[in-house]
Structure 1
């Protein structure tokens, strides 16, 4: 079987860069995007690849249970045809700024939770259970230092709902890690990781803030670092920074 990476949230930014670097390294990738018609950069990347067949692009709207299920079915079909899901990266996310706790609307708070927490967890749950005899080696959730409850970043004005959604994601992925370990068998070898990608300059981060963001990096540097961390770290239920530093929950 051919080892394959599944990248969810692959149309731009960090997710697109994951696909780019993995293809450059000769990997096979299944890329999930919210809308096939709005993934021009990803389609161009696939077309420019020396072996375009190594990249499969499927729709996966992380806010829709039906879309997640259809995506899972597509990945299942690929597995049946000879691909093995080796690693899964859940990168899909949203940041509508500002999202202050004293101003947030019900619908905007719900959107952050559905996109940043519920959708990624449900998608991971479906993908992890696709093949009981060959579960993925690693399930990686792109989180944020904003979701740390130990290191509260009170200078981040306007990040209330975003931070809460990432904190909830962190807690759920830790439960997922513990549950897979308790399940035993081959499941206990599946490693669940949370990753802080750094202060990456992407379209989502292109907002006017009331403070200086220090240590900004480009997506290629972030992803190159995260790929090393994903390869090296095998402590399930742990939280890491893109540069290999352990991050406190």
Structure 2
């Protein structure tokens, strides 16, 4: 039975991923900042759910989570999903401390998770960083949400660097954009896809990842984004 660790699993995409993997019979390690506030997650328990206190900003939390996973025999999938959005509509609204906090969660968190959990990933494992497809900087025209956009560019570059480093010895490493989905981050926009429609396909895509996808950023249809 596959062992899957998902960060940011108390709501949104992370919660939907945990639910889908549980329905498929996986053992799910659901990383959440506050287990006492994850009642919906606890309601999913099928006997294969392990709720893990895990704030990706905390090295101690990461170490404790790694110890728990090690005691259970390791992982087949690590899905770094935890993320935050700091809105800004122009340069004047960029806040230094809050920007650093976004980078700590969205960029450094997945890197520290990868650093600590790589040796706990079993053969044929997958390390997936949820992200957005970043267009070449020369074509970038956005002037909003500076911290979030910067965090995704940085995460994508670091995902590629990890993939290069472990190409001969480690798991398949990929970035993945799950699509424009109805979450708190998108304001549950009517034009976005409901999670219950999208997430089964996202899990299918994670499970289909192969050597040709290593070091790539995948779109919801499985195509590689030209990042």
Q: TM-score, normalised by structure 1?
A: 0.83
Aligned to 1:144: 132
My pick for the range that moved more, 223-232 or 86-95, is: 223-232
Structure 1 unaligned segments of length 5 or more: list them. Answer: 47-51, 208-212
Gaps of 5+ in 2: none
Residues 232-241 or 99-108, more deviating:
99-108
Specify whether residues 199 and 73 from structure 1 end up closer, same or farther in structure 2 by C-alpha distance, changes over 3 A only: same
Please name the residue that 1:9 is paired with: 8
1:236 match: 214
**CA contact 2:7–2:32 (8 Å) conserved in 1:** yes
SS in 2 for 1:45: coil
CA contact (8 A) 2:87 2:146 kept: no
Q: Select the residue among 195, 199, 214 that pairs with 2:176.
A: 195
Q: Which residue in the other structure is 2:61 paired with?
A: 67
TM-aligned CA distance change 1:214 to 1:13, over 3 Å: closer
User: In angstroms, what is the RMSD of aligned CA positions?
Assistant: 2.1
Q: What is the SS of the residue equivalent to 1:137?
A: strand
Spell out, residue by residue over 1:13-65, the C-alpha distance to the aligned partner (whole angstroms, 9 max, x if none): 0010011111111111111111111212111122xxxxx22111111001111
Matches within 5 A, 1:163-202: 163-181=149-167, 184=168, 187-188=169-170, 190-202=171-183
TM-aligned CA distance change 1:116 to 1:101, over 3 Å: farther
Q: Who is 1:216 aligned against?
A: 192
**Which whole-Å CA distance do the structure 2 matches of 1:201 and 1:192 have between them?**
26
Structure 2 CA distance for partners of 1:87 and 1:99, relative to 1, 3 Å: farther
**Length, aligned pairs only:** 225
The yes-or-no answer on 1:204 pairing with 2:185 is: yes
| TM-score normalised by length of structure 2 | 0.91
Correspondences of 1:86-105 after superposition (within 5 Å): 86-98=76-88, 100-105=90-95
Residue in 2 that maps onto 1:210: none
**Given the alignment, which residue of 201, 218, 222 partners 1:225?**
201
Matched-pair contact (CA < 8 Å) for 1:177–1:237: yes
Runs (4 or more) in structure 1 with deviation over 4 Å come to 150-153
